[in-house]
């Protein structure tokens, strides 16, 4: 397992205020400062190899995953990058300790923005370190085809992630600290987003439009 510390992430208060539709930029700036003072963004990942491709999934480094969409996306792919990325636990503690509901909400959103920045850095690192022109990512729980329980095998590929980053799975396979993401990056010719196969109507985290034809092509039904 490799560790990639993610330094120097800084949010711009004005852009964050615009994005979050917040009028009080000074308040947002103060909250951003307190989040950035405690965050510890880092990714743990490994270079994995696809051992076997089955009808309903793949085997990576002796660990089996069940997902027809993942299987399809890994057609012609031999090397993958299972990962867990977090900005650390301290922000969860700060949010928990706040009494003001607006500040709680804004800190939570700031955590999402920091996580997004950290993910961008990590993705850039993968592309440059492994000479990959384009990468895509799938995460357990993003589609019914690859349910959240598949976090289990993913974490088996990164058994020291709790010691290294402090990230663990709850009984319902959610990650703690909350501001953590996980998944498998893989090289791709065109960028794949699980959102293209997900018909959910209201989702603030949507990254691409739902593509019914593509969903049918992947055998994913709404
Ligand atoms: S649209 Fe939302 S729920 Fe659906 S895959 Fe994308 S981020 Fe997840």
Q: Indicate whether 97 pLDDT > 90.
A: yes
User: Is 79 among the domain residues?
Assistant: yes
Mean pLDDT of the chain: 94
Where residue 202 falls among pLDDT bands split at 50, 70, 90?
confident
CATH number at residue 146: 3.40.109.40
User: Is 63 among the domain residues?
Assistant: yes
User: Is 42 among the domain residues?
Assistant: yes
- Listed in sequence order, the residues at least 6 apart from 162 whose beta carbon sits closer than 8 Å to its beta carbon are 168
Report, in angstroms and rounded to the nearest whole number, the Rg of the chain calculated over CA atoms: 18
Distance CA 37, CA 163 (A): 22
Give 118 Cα–ligand 1 centroid separation in angstroms. Answer: 19
Task: Tell the residue nearest (CA) to atom 8 of ligand 1.
Answer: 142
User: Is 205 among the domain residues?
Assistant: no
* 117-153 per-position pLDDT tens digit: 999 999 999 999 999 999 999 999 999 999 999 999 9
Which percentage of the chain shows pLDDT scores above 90? 85
Q: Is-contact 184 138, C-beta < 8 A?
A: yes
Query: What DSSP character marks residue 140?
Result: T
**CB of 200 closer than 6 angstroms to any ligand 1 atom:** yes
Task: Tell the residue nearest (CA) to atom 5 of ligand 1.
Answer: 195
User: Is 209 among the domain residues?
Assistant: no
**CB of 150 closer than 6 angstroms to any ligand 1 atom:** no
| Least confident window among 23-37, 118-132, 192-206 | 192-206
The whole-model pTM stands at: 0.90
pLDDT value for 189: 84
146, 193, 194, 199, best to mutate for ligand 1 pocket (most atoms within 8 Å of CB): 194
User: Is 201 among the domain residues?
Assistant: no
Q: Say whether 40 sits in a helix, a strand or coil.
A: coil
- Listed in sequence order, the residues at least 6 apart from 78 whose beta carbon sits closer than 8 Å to its beta carbon are 49, 50
Ligand 1 atom closest to Cα of 194?
A: 5
Where residue 88 falls among pLDDT bands split at 50, 70, 90?
very high
> What average pLDDT does the segment 190-218 reach?
88
User: Is 154 among the domain residues?
Assistant: yes
Q: Could you give phi then psi for residue 200, rounded to 5 degrees?
A: -50, 130
**CB of 195 closer than 6 angstroms to any ligand 1 atom:** yes
* 46-87 per-position pLDDT tens digit: 999 999 999 999 999 999 999 999 999 999 899 999 999 999
Give 200 Cα–ligand 1 centroid separation in angstroms. Answer: 7
Q: Indicate whether 34 pLDDT > 80.
A: yes
User: Is 196 among the domain residues?
Assistant: no
Domain count, the chain: 1
Ligand 1 atom closest to Cα of 207?
A: 6
Give 195 Cα–ligand 1 centroid separation in angstroms. Answer: 5
Q: Indicate whether 222 pLDDT > 70.
A: no
Give 37 Cα–ligand 1 centroid separation in angstroms. Answer: 30
Which domain does 120 fall in, by range? 2-191
């Amino acid at each position: 397992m490799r560790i990639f510390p993610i330094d120097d992430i800084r949010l711009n208060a004005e852009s964050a205020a615009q994005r979050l539709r917040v009028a009080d930029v000074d308040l947002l700036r103060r909250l951003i400062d307190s989040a950035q003072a405690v965050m510890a963004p880092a990714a743990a990942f490994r270079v994995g190899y696809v051992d076997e491709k089955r009808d309903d999934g793949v085997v990576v480094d002796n660990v089996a995953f069940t997902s027809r969409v993942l299987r399809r996306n890994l057609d012609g792919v031999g090397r993958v990058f299972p990962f867990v990325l977090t900005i650390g636990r301290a922000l969860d503690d700060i949010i928990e300790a706040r009494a003001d509901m607006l500040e709680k909400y804004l800190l939570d959103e700031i955590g999402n923005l920091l996580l997004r920045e950290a993910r961008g850095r990590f993705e850039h690192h993968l592309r440059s370190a492994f000479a990959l022109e384009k990468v895509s990512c799938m995460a357990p729980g993003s589609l019914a085809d690859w349910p959240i329980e598949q976090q289990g095998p993913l974490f088996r590929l990164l058994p020291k992630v709790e010691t290294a980053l402090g990230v663990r799975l709850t009984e319902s396979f959610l990650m703690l600290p909350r501001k953590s993401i996980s998944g498998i990056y893989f090289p791709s010719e065109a960028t794949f987003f699980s959102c293209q196969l997900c018909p959910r109507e209201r989702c603030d985290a949507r990254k691409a439009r739902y593509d019914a034809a593509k969903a049918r092509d992947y055998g994913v039904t709404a």
